[in-house]
Structure 1
Amino acid sequence: MSVATADRSRIDLSSKTALLVAGDLAAIFLFVAIGEYTHGYNPIVDFGRVAGTFAPFLIGWLLVAGAAGLYATDAPGTLANATLVTLLCWVAAVAVAQGLRATSVFHGGAALTFAIVSVLVGGLLLTLWRVGVTLTIGR
């Protein structure tokens, strides 16, 4: 199997995939915006800060979700699979995001408490979105 074939089997370039990506990123952005708001930042006025907080989660999610097949032709799959794989991917994406936040490139630093909140709140939002999509459009 060539690399090109492997890539096509993992990421389906379709309108369904575009919908999945848009919803996933909206759920993650909502998680970040709510978090920034609860810490006294206005997500509209302080958009640069929100974008800086969002970026490591965006990178982590796209790397992990793409590799795990969450944008493959058979995504979202069954309800159980959509839920489990989404949650596992989110935990891995949060680990990537925390690693990125520990560098000087991104603000915020890595903190265990923030990782736990990220897994719980972001995971809830992503899972609700993915479950809704699975129930609505299925395979």
Structure 2
Amino acid sequence: MGTSNGSFLDQRLDADALPLAVGDFLALALVLTIGVVNHNGVDYLSAEPVGWLLTLVPFLLGWGLFGVLIGAYSAGAAETAKAAIPLAIRGWIPGGLLGLGLRASPLFEGGFAWTFAAVILATGLLALVAWRWLYFKLLG
């Protein structure tokens, strides 16, 4: 029988992973903002800041929940790209799906479209992988 070394969250959150977390959320927010601008124009960001932020919220919530559950911010994730990138992939797929589910619910505007699902899952994944690869490339 195994022993527990700390709480569930203690095993999945490590202070050394804070830069990864900040970068992950900024990378996803950037991808989502690019989509908002492509569909609504850049003026939408200042004319409808609540609408803009409500576009980001479901996906950032999904990523935040599953990123933590998967261990994307654990001590191991903060050590190498080889550890950090697969954790981001494993966290984004269910996190992005949760974001899509929230967006399709009455809680958020936007509804659901298969094309959007494919685009957000792919671009979110690309953003997380690229950010994490760059982070470890620059830090050595």
TM-score normalized by the length of structure 1: 0.86
Q: Which residue of 1 aligns with 2:59?
A: 57
Asked if structure 1 preserves the Cα contact closer than 8 Å seen for 2:17 and 2:78, the reply is no
Summarize the Cα distance change of 1:4–1:111 in structure 2 as closer, same or farther, 3 Å threshold. farther
1:104 aligns with 2:92: no
Asked if structure 1 preserves the Cα contact closer than 8 Å seen for 2:27 and 2:131, the reply is yes
Asked if structure 2 preserves the Cα contact closer than 8 Å seen for 1:31 and 1:125, the reply is yes
- Quick one: distance in 2 between partners of 1:87 and 1:44? 32
Q: Which residue of 2 aligns with 1:130?
A: 132
Structure having the larger proportion of residues in helix? 2
1:4, distance to aligned residue in structure 2 (A): 5.2
Q: Which residue of 2 aligns with 1:33?
A: 33
Q: CA RMSD in A?
A: 2.0
Tell me which structure has the larger Cα radius of gyration: 2
Q: Identity over the aligned pairs, expressed in percent?
A: 31
- Quick one: distance in 2 between partners of 1:55 and 1:34? 15
- Quick one: distance in 1 between partners of 2:77 and 2:91? 14
User: How is 1:41-52 mapped onto 2 (pairs within 5 angstroms)?
Assistant: 41=41, 42-52=44-54
Any idea what SS the aligned residue of 1:57 has? helix
Q: Which residue of 1 aligns with 2:68?
A: 66
Q: Which residue of 1 aligns with 2:18?
A: 18
Any idea what SS the aligned residue of 1:71 has? coil
Asked if structure 1 preserves the Cα contact closer than 8 Å seen for 2:37 and 2:45, the reply is yes
Amino acid at match of 2:103: R
Summarize the Cα distance change of 1:84–1:43 in structure 2 as closer, same or farther, 3 Å threshold. same
Q: Which residue of 1 aligns with 2:88?
A: 86
- Quick one: distance in 2 between partners of 1:81 and 1:18? 15
1:83, distance to aligned residue in structure 2 (A): 2.5
Structure 1 spans left out of the alignment, 5+ residues = none
**When the two structures are aligned, how many residues end up with a matched partner?**
136
TM-score normalized by the length of structure 2: 0.86
1:39, distance to aligned residue in structure 2 (A): 0.4
Structure 2 spans left out of the alignment, 5+ residues = none
**Farther off after superposition, 82-91 or 65-74:** 82-91
Moved over 4 A (4+): 1-4
Summarize the Cα distance change of 1:18–1:79 in structure 2 as closer, same or farther, 3 Å threshold. closer
